[in-house]
Structure 1
């Protein structure tokens, strides 16, 4: 399956100058509707696993190795290119959604341990991948909007995972699914709907996307809402990291930032909490 080989990808990325980066064609945001066929589809036992993904939280999850093979057989070029390069990162084409990244477990465990109250809250699982944080939020009786860059990930993994773990009524009434780039997502989402919580994990590795991500927070978070960002302190070979993203937010001056968790061993990881400063509503970013 995929391996996160940033060090090898770095050489390719460094060769892309600023002009070429500006020419990247990011996929426009779109809302995906769940079809009756998806709802009624039977998933064979060999196609998913049931495991304790988080402490005390068992989930049924589609096997991404099977999905990868299926998408390759279906001539899905984004996945074929990623497979051929043994990479989880092809800017503007594939953004690693077929794998559960390390900081997702950090964030999920934090939500459980802190007993964050999500009942009847509107939650965005931003950059959701297979959807672990969104699934956990649904378990806590929230309404969840799942977002990932690649529609293939949502259709083949995220939506089936929701269907595997929840009854049809919950899927149809408490879930929405969005694909595509964050820049256009900000304008696609219902202007009248804002989120109580935005959870996002391992989404700050590319500095070129930091402002897009931040604009989602500014435009779509409720006045008293909370954002939690989980990520590595630094992503070697790519250049993004927590301090760079934190500095962007602090420079703009609209949010208070608090480090609420840090890894005690292994790779340096962190969870940041963002809350609006008093009387700070959305305005165009100055950064």
Structure 2
């Protein structure tokens, strides 16, 4: 369809984006159960590395080469395809969950330095990947739901990382649930008894705003699943070169909707600019 460059064409562009997004076969959201064999699995020291997330907190995290080896053995086509293309992103196939992105460290450090209250809180680690943020929350006695697009990521790194960091595996798993799939369908998932939607005290997400085509779906998770007095924290780069997303673009979407107050609570001082946004629901007058 031929278009002139008038202001009205912005709506046409938005419709085109929505149409394009709807034609991609996104994986439907589902809960991922932890198998007994996973709970009983013993890991060798060569399988993981100890990462200093912030002072006094070291996390044992599965090595990426170990994860990739296991995925090749299981012939996980989507991630093997991404690896063969040396790509961290193939939309709707692989969304980069095997890597620990730098904004995850930013957000972990922010949580530590600001003494965020976790005790007994209901937390969602959205787009969790390796699960670093959710692990911090678990160590501080939260109940945590981990969500990532790829079930392969959840099974190969997220669940093993949880099991590696707690001696009493059965006990910690009572404070965890794991989910995979698209944010659009995740928002519609009901609780295990099927009669209500789970809502969270805290929703954390890091490095998930790179694709502007997914901003609306990501925002809907906060809109539908954050409690009235809940807090959302979004960590990301100011701009993602090559894919077009960024903090300002996502912030504008939130502000235009008018439901949340938004503030920038952290910025780095050097290198590629990174930020953390905090969102809370506006108080009814």
The TM-score with structure 1 as length reference comes to 0.89
Deviating above 3 A after TM superposition, structure 1's stretches of 4 or more consecutive aligned residues are: 16-22
Greater mean alpha carbon deviation, residues 120-129 or residues 182-191: 182-191
1:212 to 2:217 alignment: yes
> What SS does structure 2 have at the residue aligned with 1:53?
strand
What is the match of residue 126 of structure 2? Answer: 126
Spell out, residue by residue over 1:233-255, the C-alpha distance to the aligned partner (whole angstroms, 9 max, x if none).
00011010001000000000000
Indicate the larger mover: 62-71 or 229-238: 62-71
Distance in 2 (CA, whole Å) between partners of 1:51 and 1:235 is 26
- Partners of 1:224 and 1:170 lie apart in 2 by 28
Question: Aligned equivalents of 1:262 and 1:51: distance in 2?
Answer: 23
Q: Distance in 1 between matches of 2:121 and 2:172?
A: 16
Shift, 1:278, TM fit: 1.5
In structure 2, relative to structure 1, the CA distance for the partners of 1:117 and 1:19 (3 Å cut) is: closer
- Equivalence for 1:263: 268
Residue 181 of structure 1 aligns with which residue?
Answer: 182
Aligned to 2:49: 49
Task: Write out aligned runs for 1:1-287 (5 A).
Answer: 20-166=20-166, 167-190=168-191, 191-279=196-284
Measure how far apart 1:55 and its partner are: 2.8
Consecutive unaligned residues of structure 2, counting only runs of 5 or more, are: 1-15
Q: What's the offset of the Cα at 1:215? A: 0.6
Q: Secondary structure at the match of 1:82?
A: helix
* 1:25-83 deviation digits (Å, cap 9, x = unpaired): 00000001111111111112211112313332101111111111221232111111101
- After superposition, the Cα gap between the structure-2 partners of 1:196 and 1:74, relative to the gap in structure 1 and judged at 3 Å, is same
1:6 equivalent in structure 2: none
Alignment check: 8 A CA contact 1:124 1:199 kept: yes
Q: Which has the greater radius of gyration? A: 2
- Once residues 128 and 56 of structure 1 are traced to their aligned partners in structure 2, the CA distance between those partners, rounded to angstroms, is 22
The 3-state SS of whatever aligns with 1:123 is strand
Q: Which moved more, 1:104-113 or 1:160-169?
A: 160-169
Cα pair 1:55 1:109 within 8 Å, conserved:
no
Alignment: residue pair count? 265
Give TM-score scaled by structure 2 length: 0.90
Q: Measure how far apart 1:171 and its partner are.
A: 2.8
Q: Deviations along 1:63-107, whole A, 9 cap, x unmatched?
A: 111111221232111111101110000000000000000100000
- Contact residue 134 and residue 144 of structure 2 kept, 8 A: yes
